[in-house]
Chain A
Amino acid sequence: MTPLLFYAFAALSIISALLIITHRHPVYSALFLILTFFALAVLYVLLNAQFIAAVHVVVYAGAIMVLFLFVIMLLNLRRETLAVQPNWVWKGVGGALAVLLLIEVGYVLNVARLPGGIGPYSPEVLAQKGNTELIGELLFTRYVFPFEVASVVLLVAIVGAIVLSKRKLS
């Protein structure tokens, strides 16, 4: 059952990711991005990361995509997206570079061996105590300083977004 789910949702994520970068209209790209996010959330559940899957759906499919769709609607891009001429030379160069990157990563995956030992959080431990509770414990003990810094990062982003998009008072 698990291999079937993996292959189905891996294929779904790849196809929708390809549609993001090939579709002409940005709104459809945004909708296919949502589809990619949901496929990835299923893969996270298959990897015993239920908390990350839930947060992924809430943050990406909920918050970030709404932001994208709002900006697309604000900008009214239809006239412009249709006027853009494709540049086949640069498309070829970009595609070749990406294929080169894929070959490199595949080579590294074949050669590399993972150093280090196995940690204490086996799937049995996760199932017994709960993924969310264990992540919460780590987040508020060993990783409490990065956690607080993350809140500062979000605050700076809020202030920055407001300052940037505010019209000048005249």
Chain B
Amino acid sequence: MISYQHYLVLSAILFAIGVIGVLTRRNAIIIFMSIEVMLNAVNLTFVALSNHLHSLDGQIFVFFVMTVAAAEVAVGLALIVVIFRLRETVNVDEINLMKW
């Protein structure tokens, strides 16, 4: 029998994979995709607990998370396009003007 803990463990694994992607990859687009993986891991947690607790609030929240994710991707990819136009790179190690 599959309990909600199975889903929570899966979502923890997916979130950790997303964290590894953000911390180890230097391509801004791959970092964005890793953030999407993390958002989806959290969505899976919401839906699993919403199913377990017989409540729909988690699914409503997932709906809003998707809205914000879509907005974030649109603005973020526009930023990446502008940065590429200015600097000819999307390597985050070379985009360090505001780092220190």
Q: How many residues does chain B have at the interface if contact means C-beta atoms less than 8 Å apart?
A: 70
B12 touches A106 (CB 8 A): yes
Evaluate whether A68 and B29 lie within 8 angstroms (CB atoms) in the complex, with A36-B37, A91-B24 already known.
yes
Identify whether the interface residues of B are mostly helix, strand, loop, or mixed.
helix
The number of inter-chain residue pairs (CB within 8 angstroms) is: 218
What residues of chain A lie closer than 8 Å to B67, measured between beta carbons?
150, 153-154
- A93-122 interface bits toward B, Cβ cutoff 8 Å, 1 = contact, 0 = none: 111011101100110010000101011111
A109 touches B12 (CB 8 A): yes
A48 touches B40 (CB 8 A): no
What residues of chain B lie closer than 8 Å to A64, measured between beta carbons?
36, 69-70, 73
Evaluate whether A94 and B8 lie within 8 angstroms (CB atoms) in the complex, with A3-B2, A14-B14 already known.
no
Q: Does B60 reach chain A (CB closer than 8 Å)? A: yes
Q: Does B95 reach chain A (CB closer than 8 Å)? A: no
Q: How many residues does chain A have at the interface if contact means C-beta atoms less than 8 Å apart?
A: 81
Closest to A36 in B: B37
A97 to B21, CA, bound (A): 12
- B23-54 interface bits toward A, Cβ cutoff 8 Å, 1 = contact, 0 = none: 11111011011101100100110011111111
B16 touches A121 (CB 8 A): no
A49 touches B51 (CB 8 A): yes
Closest to A164 in B: B78
A98 touches B19 (CB 8 A): yes
Residues of B within 8 A of A (CB): 1-2, 5-10, 12-27, 29-30, 32-34, 36-37, 40, 43-44, 47-57, 59-60, 62-64, 66-75, 77-82, 84, 89-91
Residues of A within 8 A of B (CB): 2-3, 6, 10, 13-14, 17-18, 20-21, 26, 29-30, 33, 36-37, 40, 43-44, 46-49, 51-52, 55-56, 59-60, 63-64, 67-68, 71-72, 74-75, 77, 80-81, 84, 87, 90-91, 93-95, 97-99, 101-102, 105-106, 109, 114, 116, 118-123, 131, 134-135, 138-139, 143, 146, 150, 153-154, 156-158, 160-162, 164-165
